[in-house]
Amino acid sequence: MDSKCERSEKLALVMDERVCCDTIFRAVRLAPKQYVVYDLLVLNGSRVHDVLTFSQRQQRIAELLELFHHPDLVALTTIEDAPIGCHVRGYEQYDDVPGSIGVFVEHLPNTK
């Protein structure tokens, strides 16, 4: 879905069956078949956003993509593994409180 939840797009995605359809990632499109996974809201029906910190969710995303994702049709990548110089409209800065949302910043912290 887009940020206003007005348009949705179906993706043909290859994931292992242990990550079921009750998993919700927050992602940003880099190219027609390439996305950066920015956050994890629900994992197999359990809302993990409310109980894990941002860094814990990032670690879980990295583990899930490494173990269960096959980039044959659509490629998902972590923020850390995103291509250098990829165009993004801004960044988010997070604290270590489970369930908190990111704060938009135009540049990565400590950069201009």
Q: Is the pLDDT of residue 112 over 70?
A: no
Between 61 and 13, residue with greater pLDDT: 61
What phi and psi values does residue 7 have, to the nearest 5 degrees?
-125, 140
- Sign of the CA dihedral with 97 first, then 99, 104, and 108 last: positive
Domain ranges of the chain: 14-105
**pLDDT tens, residue by residue, 3-29:** 677 887 778 888 877 777 788 888 888
Taking CA 35 as the corner, what is the angle to CA 49 and CA 45, rounded to the nearest 5 degrees? 30
Name the pTM for this structure: 0.78
